[in-house]
Chains A and B, each alone.
Chain A
Amino acid sequence: MPPEILVDVESVGFTYDRRPVLKGISMRIPRGSIVAIMGASGSGKTTLLRIIGGQLKPNEGRVTVAGRSVAELPLDDLYAMRRRMSMLYQFGALFTDMTVFENVAFPLREHTKLPEEMIRDLVLMKLEAVGMRGAHRLMPAELSGGMARRVALARAVVLDPMLVMYDEPFAGLDPIAMATIGTLIRTLNHALGSTSIIVTHDVFESLSIVDYLYFISDGVIVGAGTPEEIRRSDLPYVRQFVHGEADGPVPFHYPAPPYPRDVGLVQ
């Protein structure tokens, strides 16, 4: 039996200020899997996440999550769906006026009427899972980048979501913090039985934790496969990306008139 598809992206197109950002993107993400969407900065990866989360509406095509078309949901239903999906932001997006504990407790306090002791137990349990229980009294400003992201991860999974989306979870982290986040994504995905979509440009970390990868360039999918297939791939874009070559299908230079003309050597 083929695995159930949780997120189905059907030929999605998105235009911002008349500039096409996404052009006919299709992907099917099975329940329980970890999928990476890779591409250079500005290739439209984050836009795709926002479309899946219903914060942006696609101009073409549609996205269904758990069988329901996200863009067509009325606000109440969209909010009901978002209680079961969550997003980890690049810099954590912790609420700076609340302690670590209150940040993680926020979704529980907003969406449930649980008694205080139970909220406390749940929050400390999630913080323990990301190794930040000892920091529950600190304010977000007192945390390092990696620690803030772990707290944000605890907050993202506190309602046991069916889908977690990660926006650049590895950006700007040292190798140890990066490996920690990678391991956490993997273990939490297993423990919660959720599905993860990771938007990133970090090849090595993602190759080691994900089940499937998509490469996006200029708004179209230019390569896809399991980590094994990607390592062996000879698609030019994928090769350039995986091996970090400066020039290739993605040019080194920003589009410009010929150099000799700009410096006045020829008219």
Chain B
Amino acid sequence: MSARPRLERRNRIRRPIATLGRRMIDGIWRVGTITRFFTLVLGSSGTSFARFRLVMREVYFSGVLSLVIIVVSGLFIGMVLGLQGFETLQKYGATESIGVLVALSLVRELGPVVAGLLFASRAGSAITAEIGLMKVTEQLSAMDMMAVSPMARVIAPRFWAGVISMPLLSALFAAMGVFGGYVVAVVILGVDNGAFWSQMQAAVDFRYDVLNGVVKSVVFGFAITVIATFEGYDAPPTAEGVSRATTRTVVSSALTVLALDLVLTAFMLRNQG
């Protein structure tokens, strides 16, 4: 057997392993870079709090402008929960518990998670695209040459605005969902009004349910905005680079939110038991 086919065969086995190894090393590098970026953002956050106006402006762009999608989605999801829950609970003659079902699913899970996914696709993608394009058009570099740190002036305000907006949006989502469930169950399907609210009030615990939901949404807020700002800041300064970074923001934020949700839920249920 000549040396050449053997070499080729060996390469055929080696190459995928090498590719896998390279991908893993790249991935680990990336985690390191994101962590470094995160500490830099935290380190340059002084300006954001000293000039809170800068953060409020970004709260308007990522929070207030996300209101429509959050309110409408919350309402619809609450209504669907009402319909589905009513159908199932009817079999056990427990339709009055519909309020509990709707409220618990929204406050514990759907509120933070769905609001997080919507926030990532509505505001996260916009943050990445804006920062990426500022880089393409040399605005970040120009700011740096004017002795104004882009980290402090551009990145940190957007980061904190996301962290502030996310729990508020999530709470609003849950509230709208409960209202949607109320409309379907009480107004349309005729569940007793008093039972709907009183059962909900008795079963939903402030610490275990509401506060844990808030903790989740705060964690998601951190995760989504770190990813969105990092992807924008790290994007190659080309049209293709920015479009890929925007896609990556949506995909990795969604996966991160879902993975974090599993971990947080496991911890929270364990503590409760």
A interface vs B, CB < 8 Å? 53, 55, 79-80, 82-83, 85-87, 89-91, 93-96, 106-107, 110-111
User: Residues of A contacting B145 with CB < 8 Å?
Assistant: 53, 55, 82, 85-87
- Picked from B134, B138, B148, the residue with its CB within 8 Å of the CB of A89 is B138
B117 to chain A, nearest CB (A): 27
- Tell me the dominant secondary structure on chain B's binding face: helix
B88 CB-CB contact with A under 8 Å: no
- Picked from A83, A85, A91, A106, the residue with its CB within 8 Å of the CB of B138 is A91
- Between B134, B141, B153, the greatest number of chain A beta carbons within 10 A of the residue's beta carbon is seen for B141
User: Residues of B contacting A95 with CB < 8 Å?
Assistant: 139, 143
User: Residues of B contacting A89 with CB < 8 Å?
Assistant: 138, 141-142
- Picked from A86, A87, A96, the residue with its CB within 8 Å of the CB of B137 is A96
Q: A87-B142, A89-B142, A93-B142 known; A79 and B147 CB under 8 Å? A: yes
CB pair B139–A93 under 8 Å, yes or no, is: yes
CB pair A80–B137 under 8 Å, yes or no, is: no
CA–CA, A124 and B118, complex, Å: 44
B144 CB-CB contact with A under 8 Å: yes
- Between B137, B138, B139, B142, the greatest number of chain A beta carbons within 10 A of the residue's beta carbon is seen for B142
* 7 A-B pairs closest in CB distance: A93-B142, A82-B147, A79-B147, A93-B138, A87-B145, A89-B138, A83-B147
CB pair A106–B147 under 8 Å, yes or no, is: no
**CB-contacts of B128-150 with A (<8 A):** 134, 137-139, 141-149
User: Residues of A contacting B139 with CB < 8 Å?
Assistant: 93-96
CA–CA, A106 and B153, complex, Å: 11
CA–CA, A53 and B142, complex, Å: 11
CB pair A82–B138 under 8 Å, yes or no, is: no
CA–CA, A107 and B148, complex, Å: 8
A214 to chain B, nearest CB (A): 21
CB pair A107–B142 under 8 Å, yes or no, is: no
**CB-contacts of B153-168 with A (<8 A):** 153
